[in-house]
Every structure is written in structure tokens, then in C-alpha cells.
Amino acid sequence: MDKLIKEFIEYLTHARAYSEYTETNYEIDLYNYKEFLDKYGYDYKHINYAIISNYTKSLKENNMKSSSINRHLSALRSFYNYLVRKGVVKSNPFKLVTGPKTESKLPNYMKYNEFEELLNTCDSSPLGIRNRALLELLLATGARVGELIKLDVADVDFSSHEIKVLGKGNKERICYFGEHCAKALEDYLEQSRPILLKNKKSSRLFINHIGGELTDRGVRTIIDNLIKKCSLKTKITPHTFRHTFATLLLNEGCDLKSVQELLGHANLNTTSIYTHLTNDRIKDIYLHAHPRGRK
């Protein structure tokens, strides 16, 4: 089973374009599952609902959150889909398994002035110029960090302000950027990237401090270090930029279907969670606009 898990993780990397963060969690979850099977002598090829029920029960007994249990089940569902395609098993025992209900948490997002404060921590050094371009592009496109680090220089079209992004399942979409982002990218490509490359060659857009490809973890470290330099109390991760992107668009009147397309969501229900973030603003607009709503 160890070999199949490794093959599956490689498959996620090369064929599914999953982020490093997701791949790491899936790998941990799958080895946790293997440990459970070994402990009770179960064969991964002959799994039934009773075994799955015992497994989820063991996760609960270890005080695992519902969201983490659902991630475990998602990892196993994907893993067994892979095994079915390879002909290792005939059917996916996790296909119809539903996880525990989770509390609906609203996405964490930044206010625009918080983004500006974060930008102001970027200095004029090669790394500072790169970091500014990175932040601008994250907010301009709403791209996932796993998508951002796989961008090539050739994917950026300055004439049309468009970027080709390869999303989940190798689905390509077009993202857009404005003048602020364009200026930051041009500065980075002209002034910073050649220095960071250190005479190396790379097609990747974003380069790390030793001239190699920037990783998922590298982006998280950059953002964490920038936050330490300013007074922000909001919890900010690379995904916070994606949430902020969606919230800003909806607050400015962009329709949900367009936001879905820009984010690369396969299902509109995934995008609809952002509408909860705009409810307070809509209420405020109503109270100011309706003649019987004003005081």
C-alpha cells in the first residue's frame, strides 16, 4: 500500500495540480488510514461500511474536528477513485460515505486598508519588489497559491492584462489584473527577477531567494514575515487573498456567476458562501436608500 500512496501523491502533483499543502495533508491522512488497517488486520482492497464506520469513530475518539475528519474522507475517496482507475479495486467504498456535519464558518478576509498596510512593508530590495508583485497578483486574480507558484512568465499577457491559470483538475482559466498589479509585475520582471535568478534559467514567474522555484510553503513564509513587520491583527494566509478578492468583487456589485468563473469554482454553491459576507453591506445600502428605511 505504501507504494500506491506514493504513486497517488505523485499523481496529484503532476496530473491534478493540487497544492503542496493539500498533498501533504492527504499523504498524512492516508498513512493514518494505513496505520489503522494494519492495527486491526484489515485489507485495503476489501473495505466495507462497518470498517469505514470504525475508522471515523477512531478519528472522533482522538478528538479530531469534523472538518479534519471530512478531509480524511475526501482524501480516501480520491485515493480509491485512483485505485479503481488503476484496476486495483473494483469499486470505491468511500463513494457514498458522508462525513459529520461541520459548522459553517465564514471565510476570513482582509479590509482594503489592511492590504495596503501589508504592501507598505515591501521595501525596494529584489525580494521586496518580488513580494509586492506577489501580493498584488494574489489580490488581483484571486488565484490559489498552488496555481500562483506554477505560473510561467509566458502565461502573463501585459497587452490584454490577462494571465492563463491552470487550476484544479488541470482546468485552464483566464484571470485579469489591473494597472497596479501590472506595474508591480513589470518592476519585478525588469529589476528583481534577473538578480534573484543568479544566472540560472527558469520559466517560472516567481523565483525564491536562491534562484529556484517558489513553493507553496515559501509563499506562506513570505506572508507570515510581512505580517510580523506591521500591526495587523487579522489572521492572513495566502487563501485570505482569494477570500478578499471574492468579497471585494461582490461588494462592488459583481454577479455571483462571474465570481465563480474568476475563482475557477466547479460548483456555484462553493462560491455562494461569500454572499454571507456582503449581507451587512446590503442591509446598510437598503437602510440608506429606501425612503422608509432611513431614520
Biggest CA–CA distance in the chain, Å, is 71
C-alpha cell at 39: 492495527
Residue 98's pLDDT band (boundaries 50, 70, 90)?
Answer: confident
Out of 130, 150, 193, 239, the active site residue is 239
Q: Where in the chain is the domain with CATH 1.10.150.130?
A: 2-86
Tell me how crowded residue 236 is: count the other CB atoms within 10 A of its CB.
20
Task: Choose the catalytic residue: 16, 161, 168, 204.
Answer: 168
User: Known catalytic residue: 242?
Assistant: yes
Concerning whether 265 is annotated as a catalytic residue, the answer is yes
Catalytic residue among 71, 130, 132, 144: 144
Does the pLDDT at position 235 exceed 90? no
204 is catalytic: no
What value does the mean pLDDT of the chain take? 86
Q: What is the reported pLDDT for 128? A: 95
User: Which 3 state secondary structure label does DSSP give 43?
Assistant: coil
Active site residue 161: no
d(CA 114, CA 230): 10
Q: What is the pLDDT of residues 103-123, one digit of tens each?
A: 556 667 888 889 999 999 999
Distance CA 169, CA 147 (A): 11
Q: Which of 18, 33, 109, 274 is catalytic?
A: 274
Domain 112-235 coded CATH 1.10.443.10: yes
In percent, how much of the chain has pLDDT > 70?
Answer: 89
Whether 1 contacts 34, CB under 8 Å: yes
Whether 184 shows a pLDDT value over 90: the answer reads yes
Fold of the domain built from segment(s) 2-86? DNA polymerase; domain 1 (1.10.150)
This model's pTM is above 0.75: no
Residue with cell 501589508: 118
Burial per residue of 189-222, b for 16 or more beta-carbon CB atoms within 10 angstroms, e otherwise: beebbeebeeeeeeebbbbbeeeeebbbebbbeb
